[in-house]
Amino acid sequence: QHGRSWSLPKGHVEDGEKEIDAAVREIGEETGISNLTFVREIGSYERFRSGKNAGEEDRSEWKKIRIFLFTTEQARLTPRDPDNPVAVWATPEEAVEMLTNPKDKEFFMKKVIPAL
């Protein structure tokens, strides 16, 4: 969660960092999960950055978002990122309802759910 917007964990790739390593780092920062097993890359899409209010776009940044599928046995969520202080487990159906960016929601329904 970021403000009133909900999205999947994500963030910027640091200089010299591989995208898969950035995904693991961002998941750790935004959820507290440190025990991840990579399953596969699901795909990518592009959109503007989400604003702090649900459904709002921040047109200052165009993002390419790559989605990776991981598994974990870790149940407790303890976000460490003050900009994203809340993380929750959700069923795929609940996630579709929670996602506030239309492009996130569309990608999740068309690509993520079939990959589960």
The pLDDT value recorded for residue 60 is 85
The pLDDT value recorded for residue 2 is 63
Asked whether residue 4 is assigned to any structural domain, the reply reads: no
Asked whether residue 49 is assigned to any structural domain, the reply reads: yes
CATH of the domain at 110: 3.90.79.10
Asked whether residue 61 is assigned to any structural domain, the reply reads: yes
Provide the residue-wise pLDDT of the chain in tens; the chain has 116 residues.
Answer: 666 789 999 999 999 999 999 999 999 999 999 999 999 999 999 998 877 766 677 888 899 999 999 999 999 999 999 988 999 999 999 999 999 999 999 999 999 999 99
Please state whether beta strands 57-71 and 37-50 pair in parallel, antiparallel, or not at all (unpaired).
antiparallel
Which among 25, 9, 22 is positioned nearest to 87, based on CA atoms? 9
Asked whether residue 10 is assigned to any structural domain, the reply reads: no
Q: Which residue range is the domain that position 43 belongs to?
A: 19-115
Asked whether residue 72 is assigned to any structural domain, the reply reads: yes
pTM assigned to the model: 0.87
Asked whether residue 28 is assigned to any structural domain, the reply reads: yes
The pLDDT value recorded for residue 5 is 83
Asked whether residue 100 is assigned to any structural domain, the reply reads: yes
Asked whether residue 34 is assigned to any structural domain, the reply reads: yes
Q: Count the domains in the chain.
A: 1
